[in-house]
Amino acid sequence: MKHLNFISLFTLSLLSFSASAEYRVYQYFVKSKMERFSATGNYLVTSTLDPVSYLSYHGGNEAIAIDLLRTWTCRGYTGASKEHCNPPLEESKILEGSANL
């Protein structure tokens, strides 16, 4: 009986902790290797796909070349087409600008 009480108490304590989610954001400079078929040319993109997954998902080494520019971590939920959070440097500039108002 004591063992059951301990398990119940332990389970309840685990459930009482709040969960927090976070995700990593990557910013790439993308260069098309198929210049005849590409209307956009070179461009910047922000994605939650890591470099290997991004390259594979968008046609592989034969279609595009990517350069990882920066990466940062965001807190919170990523579903429902929610915008990614700002990079830390841009976030600090936003806060710095609002302090001067």
Bridge partners (DSSP) of residue 41 are none
pLDDT for 100 beyond 60? no
Give the mean pLDDT of 37-62: 89
pLDDT for 60 beyond 90? yes
SS3 95: helix
Give the mean pLDDT of 28-36: 86
- Residue-by-residue DSSP string for 29-96: EEEES-TTT-SS-SEEEEESS-HHHHHHHTT-TTTEEEEEEEEEEEES---TTPPPPPPHHHHHHHHH
Q: What percent of the chain has pLDDT over 70?
A: 65
What pLDDT was estimated at residue 4?
67
pLDDT for 23 beyond 70? yes
Could you read off the pLDDT of 8-22 as tens digits, one per residue?
A: 767 666 666 666 788
Q: Where are the domains of the chain?
A: 20-96
What pLDDT was estimated at residue 34?
81
What pLDDT was estimated at residue 17?
64
What pLDDT was estimated at residue 81?
79
